[in-house]
């Protein structure tokens, strides 16, 4: 495609340089925002008397048609154009003639691309938030279903204390609520219009930046033109927020992979979200969770890549800044895919409560409660502790758990043991005794569910 900036130079660029320079392959996804921005720009130019009202109408109608044509597949974006801005302007001029050449008055691709990026990433952020909400809903619904299902809670991956499976899932709901909060916060700083900063220094035309920004739904305009065209903090922030979200999904992935193993057998994923092996017929692999865990690394790379591209860049626009796109688009797409797969995967996950309970029993995680029982009956804690330890050792050697050891056996260790001991060491009772705010008791799990639902409705 002929170069619109040909003038000082002939516009003859070597084919390989042309390809290297082009961003249309990845910025074409911003066509809607680019055109929306141009429509607002034409309206502003007309309001200020910089172009005629009739001219603006022609530009706006044609721009809207171009947008619709692309969406409907009637117009294919020509990848020989340098970038989406050039493509749209060339197509416009092709359709409406010379008046199309008036659109780029009082703006530059530098403020235009900054505008497109902000608008596009705000839309992406909304989509990520919506998908995160769906996953929180899936987790929270599961949590409600298993608000009294005992599992071993772990520290150091060693069985530590009995907890409710619902309590464990809700820990992830809380993380994801914070992720949404961060994304919403990031949007506040994205919501600043750079258009009208022009190439770097503003313009001699009598523009109305506030009007143009308001047409596009921005709350504010950038107050320094150099900063307006070169600020990419919002890209960094969004990348950080997505990277954090991925970190959370990756931790959940790791747990799902462990829980799905024969060794744990706490959950079984639906066939719809697992794969088999091409050689081992017995296999059912948690590929989705593994992929999410793996892709998290790439998203971290996207964040570091952006930081590195910006490091040491002098003001204002430098072509390095074209590198702000692929990484953040990749992160947006990756996190959205991950969320879209995770919500139904969690919703259809089968929970094997019996296995969880057995694992909790074999962990002797109620041994402290056994010692407390004797202490309550008057024995000094040190002695209770020693007796409980000996009983645990006997159980291990003889294939018992504390719940199944007969009372006669208990009595061999201490006369203080009575039938009521079984109530005290019942795992469900142990967990329900932890009813401090945010604790694992069923009552607390119910409160957490109510809290999450309220947050989602805010
Ligand atoms: N494709 C460019 C980018 O993504 C648009 C801005 C070009 N500006 C310029 N002065 N060459 O950054």
- Domain identity same for 143 and 270: yes
- Domain identity same for 51 and 151: no
- Domain identity same for 127 and 98: no
Distance from the alpha carbon of residue 169 to the mean position of ligand 1, in angstroms: 45
Closest CA to 95 of 113, 81, 75, 79: 75
CB 36 within 8 A of CB 216: yes
Residue 445 included in any domain: no
Average pLDDT over residues 211-236: 98
Confidence of residue 283 (pLDDT cuts 50, 70, 90): confident
Least confident of 272-276, 388-392, 451-455: 272-276
CB 370 within 8 A of CB 402: yes
Position in ligand 1 atom list of the atom nearest CA 23:
1
- Domain identity same for 59 and 195: no
- Domain identity same for 89 and 140: no
Confidence of residue 444 (pLDDT cuts 50, 70, 90): very high
- Domain identity same for 260 and 394: no
Residue 362 included in any domain: no
In this model, does residue 11 exceed pLDDT 80?
A: no
- Domain identity same for 340 and 401: no
Q: Does 124 sit in the ligand 1 pocket, CB within 6 Å?
A: no
Confidence of residue 150 (pLDDT cuts 50, 70, 90): very high
Q: Does 113 sit in the ligand 1 pocket, CB within 6 Å?
A: yes
What gap in Å lies between CA 367 and CA 430, rounded to an integer?
10
For atom 12 of ligand 1, which residue has the closest CA? 322
Show the tokens assigned to 26: 């990845």
Counting ligand 1 atoms within 8 A of each CB, the residue from 306, 322, 323, 325 with the most, and so the one to mutate, is 322
Q: Considering 357, 390, 406, which residue would you say is the last residue of a domain? A: 357
- Domain identity same for 160 and 258: yes
In this model, does residue 7 exceed pLDDT 90?
A: no
Share of the chain above pLDDT 90, in %: 94
In this model, does residue 3 exceed pLDDT 90?
A: no
In this model, does residue 9 exceed pLDDT 90?
A: no
- Domain identity same for 286 and 142: yes
Distance from the alpha carbon of residue 229 to the mean position of ligand 1, in angstroms: 10
Place of tokens 């009007």: 211
Counting ligand 1 atoms within 8 A of each CB, the residue from 11, 79, 110 with the most, and so the one to mutate, is 110
Residue-level pLDDT at 41: 98
Residue-level pLDDT at 276: 81
Residue-level pLDDT at 454: 98
- Distance from the first to the final alpha carbon of the chain: 49
Share of the chain above pLDDT 70, in %: 100
What gap in Å lies between CA 118 and CA 193, rounded to an integer?
8
Catalytic residues: 156, 277
Q: Does 357 sit in the ligand 1 pocket, CB within 6 Å?
A: no
Confidence of residue 413 (pLDDT cuts 50, 70, 90): very high
Position in ligand 1 atom list of the atom nearest CA 317:
10
- Domain identity same for 178 and 253: yes
What gap in Å lies between CA 145 and CA 163, rounded to an integer?
14
Residue 94 included in any domain: yes
CATH number of the domain enclosing 416: 1.10.40.30
The model's pLDDT over 79-130, given as tens digits with 9 standing for 90+, comes to 999 999 999 999 999 999 999 999 999 999 999 999 999 999 999 999 999 9
Q: Does 115 sit in the ligand 1 pocket, CB within 6 Å?
A: no
Average pLDDT over residues 410-439: 95
The DSSP secondary-structure symbol of 152 reads E
Residue 76 included in any domain: yes
Residue 439 included in any domain: no
- Domain identity same for 245 and 336: yes
Write the CB contacts of 439 (distance below 8 Å, at least 6 apart in sequence): none
Counting ligand 1 atoms within 8 A of each CB, the residue from 8, 34, 109, 120 with the most, and so the one to mutate, is 109
Confidence of residue 311 (pLDDT cuts 50, 70, 90): very high
CA distances from 123 to 31, 35, 217, 366 (A): 13, 15, 12, 50
Residue-level pLDDT at 8: 82
Average pLDDT over residues 311-334: 98
Residue 432 included in any domain: no
CATH number of the domain enclosing 290: 1.20.200.10
For the whole model, what pTM was predicted? Answer: 0.95
For atom 4 of ligand 1, which residue has the closest CA? 322
Q: Does 107 sit in the ligand 1 pocket, CB within 6 Å?
A: no
Across the chain, what does the average pLDDT equal?
A: 96
CA distances from 396 to 242, 361, 362, 423, 430 (A): 46, 11, 9, 21, 21
CB 236 within 8 A of CB 310: yes
Name the domain count of the chain.
3
Place of tokens 């009372």: 407
Residue-level pLDDT at 1: 76
- Domain identity same for 40 and 181: no
Residue-level pLDDT at 105: 97
Distance from the alpha carbon of residue 114 to the mean position of ligand 1, in angstroms: 9
CATH number of the domain enclosing 41: 1.10.275.10
In this model, does residue 292 exceed pLDDT 80?
A: yes
Name the residue range of residue 344's domain: 117-204+231-357
User: Counting beta carbons within 10 angstroms of the beta carbon of residue 328, is it exposed (0 to 12), middle (13 to 18) or buried (19 or more)?
Assistant: buried
Residue 343 included in any domain: yes
Average pLDDT over residues 203-213: 98
Residue-level pLDDT at 342: 98
The DSSP secondary-structure symbol of 30 reads G
Residue-level pLDDT at 349: 97
Residue-level pLDDT at 39: 98
Q: Does 173 sit in the ligand 1 pocket, CB within 6 Å?
A: no
Q: Does 317 sit in the ligand 1 pocket, CB within 6 Å?
A: yes
Q: Does 109 sit in the ligand 1 pocket, CB within 6 Å?
A: yes
Residue-level pLDDT at 15: 92
Residue 213 included in any domain: no
> φ, ψ for residue 154 (rounded to 5)?
-120, 150
Position in ligand 1 atom list of the atom nearest CA 82:
1
> φ, ψ for residue 232 (rounded to 5)?
-125, 25
Confidence of residue 279 (pLDDT cuts 50, 70, 90): confident
What gap in Å lies between CA 317 and CA 322, rounded to an integer?
9
């Amino acid at each position: 495609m002929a170069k619109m900036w040909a003038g000082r130079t002939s516009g003859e660029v070597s084919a390989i340089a042309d390809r290297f320079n082009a961003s249309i392959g990845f910025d074409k996804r911003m066509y809607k925002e680019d055109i929306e921005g141009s429509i607002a720009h034409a309206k502003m130019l007309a309001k200020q008397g910089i172009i005629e009202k009739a001219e603006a109408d022609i530009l706006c109608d044609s721009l809207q048609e171009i947008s619709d044509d692309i969406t409907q597949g009637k117009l294919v974006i020509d990848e020989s154009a340098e970038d989406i801005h050039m493509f749209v302007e060339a197509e416009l001029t092709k359709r409406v003639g010379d008046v199309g050449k008036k659109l780029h008055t009082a703006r530059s691709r530098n403020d235009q691309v900054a505008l497109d990026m902000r608008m596009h990433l705000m839309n992406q952020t909304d989509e990520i938030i919506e998908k995160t909400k769906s996953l929180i809903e899936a987790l929270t619904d599961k949590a409600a279903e298993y608000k009294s299902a005992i599992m071993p809670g772990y520290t150091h991956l060693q069985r530590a204390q009995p907890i409710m499976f619902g309590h464990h899932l809700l820990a992830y709901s809380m993380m994801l609520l914070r992720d949404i909060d961060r994304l919403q916060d990031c949007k506040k700083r994205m919501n600043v219009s750079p258009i009208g900063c022009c190439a770097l220094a503003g313009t001699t035309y009598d523009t109305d930046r506030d009007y143009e920004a308001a047409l596009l739904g921005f709350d504010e305009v950038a107050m320094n033109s150099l900063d307006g065209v070169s600020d990419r903090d919002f890209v960094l922030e969004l990348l950080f927020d997505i990277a954090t979200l991925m970190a959370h999904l990756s931790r959940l992935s790791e747990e799902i992979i462990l829980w799905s193993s024969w060794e744990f057998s706490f959950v079984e994923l639906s066939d719809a979200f697992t794969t088999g092996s091409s050689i081992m017929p017995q296999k059912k692999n948690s590929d989705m969770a593994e992929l999410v865990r793996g892709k998290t690394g790439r998203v971290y790379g996207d964040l570091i890549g952006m930081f590195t591209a910006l490091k040491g860049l002098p003001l204002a626009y430098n072509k390095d800044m074209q590198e702000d796109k692929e990484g953040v688009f990749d992160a947006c797409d990756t996190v959205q895919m991950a969320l879209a797969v995770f919500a139904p995967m969690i919703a259809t996950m089968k929970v094997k409560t019996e296995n969880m309970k057995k694992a909790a029993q074999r962990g002797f995680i109620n041994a402290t409660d056994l010692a407390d029982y004797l202490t309550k009956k008057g024995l000094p804690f040190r002695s209770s502790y020693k007796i409980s330890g000996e009983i645990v050792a006997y159980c291990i050697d003889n294939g018992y758990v504390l719940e199944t050891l007969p009372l006669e056996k208990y009595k061999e260790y201490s006369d203080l043991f009575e039938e009521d001991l079984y109530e005290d060491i019942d795992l469900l009772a142990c967990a329900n005794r932890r009813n401090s705010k945010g604790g694992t008791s069923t009552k607390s799990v119910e409160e957490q569910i109510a809290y999450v639902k309220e947050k989602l409705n805010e």
